Structure 1
Amino acid sequence: MDLDSALGATWRDDEPRRFLRRLCELDDRMAGHPGEARAADLVADAFRDAGVRDVDRESFPLTVWTRGATTLRVTDPVDRAFEGVALPYSPSASVDGPLVDVGHGTHAEIADADLDGAIALARTDSPADGRFVHRMESFGHAIDAGAEAFLFRNHIDGQLPPTGSLRFDEPAAAPGVGVSKETGAWLAEYADRDGAVELDVNATIDDGESEFVHGVLGPADADREVVVLAHFDAHDVAEGALDNGCGIAVVVAVARTLCRLDAADALDARVRVAGVGAEEVGLLGGAALADALDLDDVHAVVNVDGAGRHRNLVAMPHGSDDLATAVDAVADAVDHPVRTDADPHPWSDHWPFLRERVPAVQLHSDSGERGRGWGHTAADTFDKTDARVVREHAMLATLLVREIADTEVGRVDEDALRDAMVDQDFDAGMRAAGIWPTDWEA
């Protein structure tokens, strides 16, 4: 089958949507939980059904966190209980103290607040005139400033407490809890009135394992390969349809498309498709995959985290001009806009590769809003997905993989990468989160 026919077959292929539906029907794809292992089963079966060769599953250890009950009560100026959900790697703890609103939880806002012995309240969205602020940054800065606990207030309507890890693969130093936008508004009101709260969190932390699934297609004797990966784990509060069910469905569709091509349309590099677990709790699946591969053979990485959710595709080439050029070439060839965001960031499965100087592009999508939207909440459900978007982004990703395979892509300049992180003020946040590379210290 030639390329145009293969792409046309993808447009009519319902299997990626059926795969996504089966994924969303699983209970609790939290890292290390049984549902995540069943998701790995589905990914392996989907790769084999596509025609991917040498499909294998490999496990790796991780610290498994399991949510228990959480109680949150305002004790002053009123006595009132609110709903909250513990954030992954929050320890079991009972704390009380004054409530302090730190806005978006930026480093500057936290530095200006008196958090000694307090419970910090931070928003999930980022300042309109600034870069994205990750919750791990806000949490780390707040605890370093003396806070006893951390409350994370959603900016999306609908009584939706958000979740998200406080640390990577280890217990956090203090408890953290997500609260809805509506609860957050009340808490901000009480913080303005010098309010106080009591917080009780229960959770268990055990040793366990997760896994990644991978296989190859294209020329077996190629001396380099393009890795196309997406994570299949999700937070336990929802189905994980958008984050990242759509992403792994796109990878499945890419595999099916590439496997349809005949010798006349052979790839210029081997392609390794992979689904990885434990992204949400520390990019552990991406790191395990990177450790398992000979990175000298990896030409480039395409990390599908966020694609397939919303109509407008966004490519993040993480400082690689060569990858940005490849993205532009695909967009121009099919007259389809793809927005490029060049600034590198460390918050997805490309990071373990990028950190080892392997060029990587992340495929995301733009909803028109800042923040995660329905992601990391109970509203991240199958009904929010659109099969047309999954198919369209899979077709664009297929073209991009072929373009990258035929393009000379330079290795990452580590000094330039470090400087870009510092220029964006990521270094302070990464230190607070415990992920700043030790060999990058001055």
Structure 2
Amino acid sequence: MDDLPPAAREAFARTWTDGRPWNFLTRLTALGDRMAGGPGDARAGDLVADAFADAGVERVEFDPFEMAHWTRGETTLELTAPDERSFEAIALPYAPAADVSGPLVDVGYGTPAEIDDHDVEGAIVVASTTTPAGGRFVHRMEKFNYAIDSGAAGFVFVNHDPGQLPPTGALRYDEEAIAPAAGVSKETGAWLTDYAKRGGRAHLTVDAATEPGESRNVVGHLGPETDRELVFCAHYDAHDTAEGALDNGCGIATVVTAARILAEMDLDVGVRVVGVGAEELGLTGAEHLVETLDLDRVAAVVNVDGAGRFRDLVAMTHASEQMGDVASRVADDARHPIRVESEPHPFSDQWPFVRSGVPAVQLHSDSGERGRGWGHTHADTRDKVDDRNIREHGMLAALLVRELATEVADGELPRLDDDELAAEFRRANFETGMKAASIWPTDWE
């Protein structure tokens, strides 16, 4: 940091006490429903564009794209045997309108191996939001789609955290699923597990619709015009059940905070700054970016999804050793810890780039707990946020982008190799679940 120009040093100093990140987050979360394709999504995009421009991002514009807009109606989950009672439940996005009945079958964590150990044909499967310790976190899409492929008629996703918090989360990427699913609280899940042991049966109905819709990416530029560029992004949409403060209000606020600092730096390559739309419903904005950008020009991607929420920053480097080295250098120079995790995953906006061979880092943060916590529930509200984390992670993100820009200017960042990347995903046991969710690349066969 000793070589920073005076204006950049002043920008860092101001960030320690800057109230603008909190004010931006306040305006964003006050919108309520930011589900992609809806009116709150459009208002959120306007706020992001204004915040980018105020931070010094140049040539800010909207880039619209088509997406599958899902709307939620009423969901009912009723026990029909051995007792008759009803439970609170919410449909998971891209669940179709449906009316199904069947035996309750508890498959524990819902891993493919556990599902294989049960007869789920015609059943309403009950699975936890968490996964066993010691292995990677198995995503909701993997659990749901594998259960349905195995013959289940419906799916119930049980929050592993207490507090009467039914979870949400999309079932497919930008398309309607073929069977219904609903989220229920941990407390409800305890009843369902008990009834499943006693031969319980349930009736699940979902009122929902999937129709053509539109969202937008908010795109701007920082730094010089160069042949190579970096993409620095965060999604701004959120689920309709809460304010989306942690996921991903903190992330987009971190990007705005970092952009204000980067605007005062002498960057070695250009940076495309993007507020990404429709991440929660299929990474659709990121897919649109990959389709419209000249990927030969994109040297690397910094995706901020999860940063700013908790104290310790995590750099998820998606099998790129060089990205890990950059994150470690920033941590050493700034004397702030950044934990590097190299294992890749396909569940955030870096995935379309990684799949195309572009090195990427996802900036996340660690709560010390396993799973999403308040995320994807109606408890994801502004009061959970400590904006000191946003400001600090914004500063670290700015340093990381600057270091990456220098790395690109000094030499080529190696592209990701398809065979090596596929091997990494297989090593982490992703293949079965990703194939069930129809997101395993055909090039990897």
TM-score band w.r.t. shorter chain: over 0.9
**AA at the equivalent of 1:196:** R
Shift of 1:22: 0.4
| Partner residue in 2 for 1:436 | 440
* Partner SS for 1:67: strand
| Partner residue in 2 for 1:377 | 377
Normalising to structure 2: TM-score of the pair? 0.97
* Partner SS for 1:295: coil
Instruction: Quote the Cα distance in structure 1 between the aligned partners of 2:80 and 2:303.
Output: 46
Shift of 1:27: 2.7
Contact 2:278/2:285 (<8 A) preserved: yes
Shift of 1:205: 1.4
| Partner residue in 2 for 1:202 | 207
**AA at the equivalent of 2:13:** G
Instruction: Quote the Cα distance in structure 2 between the aligned partners of 1:49 and 1:6.
Output: 14
Instruction: Quote the Cα distance in structure 2 between the aligned partners of 1:343 and 1:278.
Output: 24
User: Which sits farther off after the overlay, 77-86 or 289-298?
Assistant: 289-298
* Partner SS for 2:375: coil
Instruction: Quote the Cα distance in structure 2 between the aligned partners of 1:385 and 1:351.
Output: 26
Normalising to structure 1: TM-score of the pair? 0.97
Given candidates 240, 246, 251, the residue that maps to 2:250 is 246
| Partner residue in 2 for 1:345 | 345
Contact 2:262/2:402 (<8 A) preserved: no
Give runs of aligned pairs for residues 262-411 of structure 1, distance below 5 A. Answer: 266-407=266-407, 408=411, 409-411=413-415
- Asked if 1:66 corresponds to 2:71, the answer is yes
Q: Give aligned-pair identity as a percent.
A: 61
* Partner SS for 1:332: helix
| Partner residue in 1 for 2:3 | none
- Asked if 1:161 corresponds to 2:166, the answer is yes
Instruction: Quote the Cα distance in structure 2 between the aligned partners of 1:77 and 1:188.
Output: 13
Instruction: Quote the Cα distance in structure 2 between the aligned partners of 1:103 and 1:121.
Output: 7
**AA at the equivalent of 1:430:** M
| Partner residue in 2 for 1:3 | 8
- Asked if 1:228 corresponds to 2:232, the answer is yes
Instruction: Quote the Cα distance in structure 2 between the aligned partners of 1:50 and 1:91.
Output: 41
Shift of 1:3: 3.1
Instruction: Quote the Cα distance in structure 2 between the aligned partners of 1:59 and 1:2.
Output: 35
* Partner SS for 1:299: strand
Instruction: Quote the Cα distance in structure 2 between the aligned partners of 1:157 and 1:176.
Output: 20
Instruction: Quote the Cα distance in structure 1 between the aligned partners of 2:399 and 2:322.
Output: 15
Structure 1 unmatched ranges of 5 or more: none
**AA at the equivalent of 1:179:** V
Give runs of aligned pairs for residues 49-60 of structure 1, distance below 5 A. Answer: 49-60=54-65
Instruction: Quote the Cα distance in structure 2 between the aligned partners of 1:290 and 1:267.
Output: 23
**AA at the equivalent of 1:286:** A
Q: What do the CA deviations read for 1:71-116 (whole angstroms, capped 9, x no partner)?
A: 1111111111100000000001111110000011101000001001
Shift of 1:2: 3.6
Give runs of aligned pairs for residues 85-124 of structure 1, distance below 5 A. Answer: 85-124=90-129
| Partner residue in 2 for 1:42 | 47
**AA at the equivalent of 2:359:** P
Shift of 1:250: 0.4
Q: What do the CA deviations read for 1:114-171 (whole angstroms, capped 9, x no partner)?
A: 0011110000011112211001000011011110000000011110000000111111
Total equivalences in the alignment: 436
Structure 2 unmatched ranges of 5 or more: 1-5
| Partner residue in 2 for 1:21 | 26
Instruction: Quote the Cα distance in structure 1 between the aligned partners of 2:211 and 2:232.
Output: 31
Cα-Cα RMSD:
0.9
Contact 2:418/2:444 (<8 A) preserved: no
Q: What do the CA deviations read for 1:2-22 (whole angstroms, capped 9, x no partner)?
A: 432221122222112111110
Shift of 1:224: 1.3
* Partner SS for 2:220: strand
